[in-house]
Chains A and B, each alone.
Chain A
Amino acid sequence: MTQETVTVTIEGTRIAVPNGTTIIEAAKQAGIVVPHYCYHPSLPSPAVCRMCLVEVEKQPKLMPACVTTVTDGQVVLVESPKAKAARQSVLEFLLINHPLDCPICDQAGECELQDYVFQEGRSSTRYSEYAKRYSPVEDFGPDILYVPNRCILCTRCVRFMESVAEDPILNVSERGDRAYIGISEDQLLDHPWSGNVVDLCPVGSLLSKDFLHKARAWDLDKTASVCPGCTQGCNITIDTRDDVVVRLRPRPNLEVNRHFMCDHGRMNYRWMNRGDRIEAPLVRDGARHVATDWDAALDRFGEILRGTRGSAVILASGLASTESLGLIRRLVEGRDVTAAVQVPVGDEAPLTGIPSLALRRDRAPNVAGAELLGYGRDWAGAMAAVANAAVVIVLDAELSPDDQALLARAPGLLVLLGTVPYEGIRNATLVLPVTSMAEENGTYVNRDLRAQRYNQARSQPGMARPAWWVAGEVLAGPGPDADAPATAAQAFAMLGATWDVFTGLTYADVGFTGHVLKPNAPAGAAR
C-alpha cells in the first residue's frame, strides 16, 4: 500500500506520484502551481487560507490541495470556473483589510498577495466604504517587525516557531477579523533561527529591520551561493543592488537546509561590501611595496618558489574555496609542508525541528574541503612551523597581532594573498590581491562532505583575482600558451590529478544541489 504509485490527472496532465502525495505537490510535479498561502513544504499544513481549493471529480465540495492526498484515477481541476471563483473570493476577502501600501512595503515585487491578485483577482473591490482594520506596527525582536495591517493570518510564522524552531512564542491572538499574530508577553523573537519567519511571510507583515526600506525587490540581482557562516553549508541567495550585497536569504535544498538559514549566517554579509581592499599586486622593493601588474607579480611568485628550498607553511582562511586551497597546496608539492586552515568557533545552535540542521560550532564553510586537501586545524602548530619555513603562504587568513609579530620575525619569504590590508602585510615579500567568496565562483565542502558550488555575486575590486587563478598561473609557468585554468570549473577539474576523492568530478556533477564526496583513499595525503 505505502510504496505504490498512483496516477492522477491534474488539469489534463496525467502524472504518476507516490501514494500519499498531496494534490498540491503532485500538481507541482505536473508543472502546475496551485496558488496557496498557508501551505509550505517545510511546515505542517493547517489548510486555513483556503486559497488552494481545487475541484476534484466526484467530490461535491472543493478540496484543499495542500492536505488532500491523491487517489488513483483522480481528476483534479485547478482552473475550473468553480475553483477560480473560490480563489478570487479568497483574494477579495484577504484584501478587504489589507492596506494597499505596496509603494512603501518591502515585500512589494516578491509578495504572493500582489502576485495572485494581479494574476486572477478582481479588478476592483466591493468593499470601498469602510475603514480597514488598523493596528500599530509591533517590534517582535532584534531584527523583526510585525505589521499587523498587512497580515493575512496564514500562520506560517506561528507554525515555524512551534513545529520547526520548537520555541512556540508566536500565537494567533483574538478571534474573527480582530485576529493578529501575538507574541508571548515578556518574550522576544530572538531565536537563532527566527529570521526565517520573514522569508516565510507571504506578504510584508514580518519584516527584517536590517533590510527595512533598503532596496526594492525588483532592483535586486540574485546569485546562488553557499553560506560562508559555518560547516553546515546552507544554500543561499546573495541579493545585491548595484553591486552591493544587501541581503542573504536561504535557497531551498532539501538535503542540507530545507528552506531555512540561521540568523548568524543571514547577518554575516557586511564584510563582503568592504571598500578598503588590496586592489593591486605589491612587490617589495627595499623597505617599501611597489604596485605592479599581474605578469610581474606572477613571475615574482614563481621565482620565490623556485629560489627556495626547505619547508613551506600555508596559513589559509576557512573561507577559501576548494579550488584555491587545492592549487595553492600544489604550489609547494614535494616540500615538507605544514598547511593549516583557520576555523573560528562559536556555540552550536540547532534548528531542532529539522534533523541535522544547525548553526555549527566550526564557523567556516570549507573545513571538510581543507581537510581533504591536506590542511590541518592546528593553527598554533602551523604558526610554530613558521620559524623554520623557507616560504610562508598566507591565503587570506585573518592574522592576530601575535601571529603578525611571529611572521615579522620569520626567516623565510612571506607571500600574502589577501583581500583587506592590515599592518602585517608590510613584512610580505609579495602581496597579491584576491577575491572574496562573494566575488568569485568556487566550491565548498560541507561537514557531510557535500561539495557545493557558489557563484560570483559582485564584481572583483581592482585587479583582484581568485586565488586559484593565481596558483594556476604560477603552476603553469610563464608564457602565452601556458596550460593555466581560466575558470573555476577548470580549476576544480584539476584537483582530481592530486586527490583521488575529486578524480573525474566536474562542475556538472556537482550541479546546483551539491555532490557528496566519497573518500575511498585515506583523505588528506597528497600523492
Chain B
Amino acid sequence: MGFPHPSHPRETVVLSKHFGDAGARSYQGWVERGGYAGLRQALGMVPDEVTNAVKESGLRGRGGAGFPTGLKWSFMPKPSGKPHYLVCNADESEPGTFKDREIMRWTPHALIEGCAIASYAIGAHTCYIYIRGEFTEPLRIMEDAVAEAYANGALGPNVLSSGKRIDMVLHRGAGAYICGEETGLMNSLEGKRGNPRIKPPFPAQAGVFGLPTTVNNVETLAAVPHIIVRGAAWYKGLVMGSPKSPGTKLISVCGHVQKPGNYEITLGFPMKDLVFELAGGMRPGRTLKAVIPGGSSVPIMSAAEVENCPTDYENIQANGSMLGSGGMIVMDDSTDMVYQIWRLARFYAHESCAQCTQCREGTAWTTKILERILAGKGKEEDLDLLLDLSEQMTGKTICVLSDSCAAPVVSGIQKFRSEFEAYISKARKPALVAV
C-alpha cells in the first residue's frame, strides 16, 4: 500500500502489506503476521535449493540494474573456509526513490529475515546492512529490530535452533550518493573513501575485505521470504507484461501527482494507470509532460512514451528508458525541462567521486553549459556540445555515474529540444542570473 494512502485495489500488496501498521515492527508482531516462517523453512533446505528457488522465481535486483538475484547468488564460490559476506544495500541514494526507507520503517524484520535467508543460501556468516546516513528513523527502527532478532534467536550463533550462525551489522553511511554503487559501498564499508572499484574482480570473487560478497538491495531481500513461503511458481506467475519481469515492485511516485507515495504493482502494470489512477493523476488543469521512471539516472520519457508502456524492465527499455530503482519522477506541463535537467546535472557534478576524468570534469562542464543556457547566454552549438560531451561520458568510466548524468541530458535534448532553443534564442526569459 502506498502509505500514507490506503491500498488501491489494483495494487498487488506483498511487501507493503504492513506499511502503516506499527505492530508489525516488533519481533512478536512480525511472527504473528507470518514472519520468520520463510527463514525457518529455508534453514530446512540445502543452501543450493534456496538459491535455485530464487533463481526459478525470476526475482531480479530491485536496486536498479535488474540482475537476476538467484544467478547472482550462484556466482558465490563454494565454501572454502574463507568468510563470505552478504551486504544489504540500504543506501537508497537515488533521487526520487524512497521505497527501501518504507520497508525498513514498517517491516524491519522482513529485511532481517530476507538477509538471513540470503546469508544462509550464499554461505555468509555475516551480513552488513549499509544504511544511508540520512535515514535516522529507519536506522533506529532497524537497530531495535536487530537487537530483538538476536534476543529471540533469529540471529546469532544458533539461528532458530538450526545450529547456523548468522550475524548482522548495521553500518551507517555518511551521505555520498556514490556509496549506493555496490563497489563504492564496499570501499566505504571498509572505511575507505567510497570510490567505485574496477570490475573485474566482481564482488563474488573479491568483494568486501577482498572476500566473496553478494550485494543485494533491500527490496530484493525483503521479497525473498515470500518466495520461500509461497513458492517460486507463485512469484513467477506475478506477471502483467514481459514474462522476464515477474513479481511485485514498489514504485516511489513523486513529483506532480496528486497522491505521491509508494505503490506496489505487479510488474507490467500500465504506467499510465500508475500515474493517473494509483497516484491520482495531475493537479487540476495540468497535463503530463514527462516521467523519469527509474530514479534520476535514467532517460526521461515523454508523455507519449508513457501512454502505452507497461511498467517492467523490458517494456520501459523498449520505450527508451529503464525501470531502475523504481523512483518515478512525474512532471506536468508547468515544468521547465531545461531547469530540471540542470538540477540533475548539478547533483551528479556534486556527487562525482573524482576518479574518472570524463565524470569529474564532464559532469561539471555539463552543469556549466546548462547554467549558461538558463542564464540566456547559450549558443546554438551548445546543444551539439552537450550531446558530444554526453557521448564521451557514456560507457567509458568505472561506474555509471557519468552515464547517469548524460542520460537525462541526451533524452532531454532529444525530446524537449524546443525548450532549450527557447532559452538560446532568448524567446524565453533567463531562469538563472548571469554566470
**Whole-angstrom CA separation of A176 from B364 in the bound complex:** 7
Instruction: For chain B, residues 380 to 429, give those with C-beta under 8 angstroms from any C-beta of chain A.
Output: 385, 389, 392, 395-398
Are B352 and A175 in contact, with the CB atoms below 8 A?
Answer: yes
Chain A residues with Cβ below 8 Å from B176 are 175
A48 interface residue, CB < 8 Å from B? yes
Instruction: For chain B, residues 350 to 401, give those with C-beta under 8 angstroms from any C-beta of chain A.
Output: 350-358, 360-365, 368, 372, 385, 389, 392, 395-398
A185 interface residue, CB < 8 Å from B? no
**Contacts A46-B198, A175-B350 hold; do A90 and B357 have CB atoms under 8 A apart?**
yes
Q: How far in angstroms is the closest Cβ of chain A from B403? A: 11
Chain A residues with Cβ below 8 Å from B372 are 129
Are A176 and B357 in contact, with the CB atoms below 8 A?
Answer: no
**Whole-angstrom CA separation of A61 from B400 in the bound complex:** 13
- Which of A5-13, A49-57, A384-392, A449-457 is near enough to bind chain B? A49-57
Are A85 and B392 in contact, with the CB atoms below 8 A?
Answer: yes
Q: How large is the interface on A (under 10, 10 to 19, 20 to 34, 35 or more residues)?
A: 20 to 34
B349 interface residue, CB < 8 Å from A? yes
Chain B residues with Cβ below 8 Å from A67 are 198
**Contacts A46-B355, A86-B392, A175-B354 hold; do A96 and B361 have CB atoms under 8 A apart?**
yes
Are A176 and B198 in contact, with the CB atoms below 8 A?
Answer: no
Q: How far in angstroms is the closest Cβ of chain A from B98? A: 24
Chain B residues with Cβ below 8 Å from A177 are 349, 352, 354, 360-361, 363-364
Q: How far in angstroms is the closest Cβ of chain A from B147? A: 35
**Whole-angstrom CA separation of A220 from B118 in the bound complex:** 64
Are A62 and B396 in contact, with the CB atoms below 8 A?
Answer: yes
Chain B residues with Cβ below 8 Å from A64 are 198
Are B354 and A174 in contact, with the CB atoms below 8 A?
Answer: yes
A171 interface residue, CB < 8 Å from B? yes
Chain A residues with Cβ below 8 Å from B365 are 93, 96, 127
Minimum CB distance partner of A178 in chain B: B354
A246 interface residue, CB < 8 Å from B? no
Chain A residues with Cβ below 8 Å from B351 are 175-176
Are B396 and A86 in contact, with the CB atoms below 8 A?
Answer: yes
Contact bitstring A119-146, B, C-beta under 8 A = 1, else 0: 0000000110110000000000000000
**Whole-angstrom CA separation of A47 from B392 in the bound complex:** 16
Are A90 and B358 in contact, with the CB atoms below 8 A?
Answer: yes
Are A50 and B397 in contact, with the CB atoms below 8 A?
Answer: yes
**Whole-angstrom CA separation of A130 from B434 in the bound complex:** 12
Chain B residue total in the interface (Cβ 8 A) = 29
Are B357 and A61 in contact, with the CB atoms below 8 A?
Answer: no
Q: How far in angstroms is the closest Cβ of chain A from B95? A: 16
Q: How far in angstroms is the closest Cβ of chain A from B330? A: 28
Q: How far in angstroms is the closest Cβ of chain B from A25? A: 17
Are A50 and B356 in contact, with the CB atoms below 8 A?
Answer: yes
B78 interface residue, CB < 8 Å from A? no
Q: How far in angstroms is the closest Cβ of chain A from B406? A: 12
Chain B residues with Cβ below 8 Å from A90 are 357-358
Chain A residues with Cβ below 8 Å from B389 are 89
* Interchain CB contact (< 8 A) of B357 among A50, A60, A126, A174: A50
Are A179 and B354 in contact, with the CB atoms below 8 A?
Answer: yes
Chain B residues with Cβ below 8 Å from A93 are 357-358, 360-362, 365, 392
Chain B residues with Cβ below 8 Å from A96 are 361, 365
Contact bitstring B270-290, A, C-beta under 8 A = 1, else 0: 000000000000000000000
Are B356 and A48 in contact, with the CB atoms below 8 A?
Answer: yes
A417 interface residue, CB < 8 Å from B? no
Are A176 and B358 in contact, with the CB atoms below 8 A?
Answer: no
Are B363 and A176 in contact, with the CB atoms below 8 A?
Answer: yes
**Whole-angstrom CA separation of A451 from B193 in the bound complex:** 45
**Whole-angstrom CA separation of A86 from B364 in the bound complex:** 18
**Whole-angstrom CA separation of A94 from B357 in the bound complex:** 7
Contact bitstring A88-108, B, C-beta under 8 A = 1, else 0: 011001101100000000000
A172 interface residue, CB < 8 Å from B? yes
Are B363 and A89 in contact, with the CB atoms below 8 A?
Answer: no
Are B354 and A50 in contact, with the CB atoms below 8 A?
Answer: no
Q: How far in angstroms is the closest Cβ of chain B from A51? A: 7
**Contacts A96-B361, A176-B363 hold; do A153 and B354 have CB atoms under 8 A apart?**
yes
**Whole-angstrom CA separation of A129 from B373 in the bound complex:** 13
**Whole-angstrom CA separation of A177 from B385 in the bound complex:** 19
Are B392 and A89 in contact, with the CB atoms below 8 A?
Answer: yes
Are B349 and A171 in contact, with the CB atoms below 8 A?
Answer: no
**Whole-angstrom CA separation of A152 from B357 in the bound complex:** 8
Are B395 and A61 in contact, with the CB atoms below 8 A?
Answer: yes
Chain A residues with Cβ below 8 Å from B396 are 50, 53, 61-62, 86
Q: How far in angstroms is the closest Cβ of chain A from B394? A: 9
**Whole-angstrom CA separation of A47 from B356 in the bound complex:** 8
**Whole-angstrom CA separation of A177 from B355 in the bound complex:** 10
**Whole-angstrom CA separation of A60 from B394 in the bound complex:** 12
* Interchain CB contact (< 8 A) of B350 among A46, A127, A176: A176
Minimum CB distance partner of B395 in chain A: A61
Are A130 and B352 in contact, with the CB atoms below 8 A?
Answer: no
Chain B residues with Cβ below 8 Å from A48 are 355-357, 398
Are A176 and B360 in contact, with the CB atoms below 8 A?
Answer: yes
Are A176 and B355 in contact, with the CB atoms below 8 A?
Answer: no
Minimum CB distance partner of B194 in chain A: A175
Instruction: For chain A, residues 261 to 305, give those with C-beta under 8 angstroms from any C-beta of chain B.
Output: none
Q: How far in angstroms is the closest Cβ of chain B from A91? A: 9
Chain B residues with Cβ below 8 Å from A61 are 395-396
14 further A-B contacts with Cβ under 8 Å, apart from A171-B193, A176-B349, are A47-B198, A48-B356, A49-B357, A53-B396, A61-B396, A90-B358, A93-B358, A97-B361, A126-B385, A127-B365, A175-B350, A175-B354, A176-B364, A177-B363
Can you identify 9 A-B contacts, CB atoms within 8 angstroms? Answer: A60-B395, A64-B198, A89-B389, A90-B358, A93-B360, A153-B354, A176-B352, A176-B364, A177-B364
Top 10 nearest A-B pairs by Cβ distance? Answer: A179-B354, A93-B361, A89-B392, A177-B364, A176-B352, A48-B355, A61-B395, A93-B357, A90-B357, A47-B198
State the A residues within 8 Å of B (CB).
46-51, 53, 60-62, 64, 67, 85-86, 89-90, 93-94, 96-97, 126-127, 129-130, 152-153, 171-172, 174-179
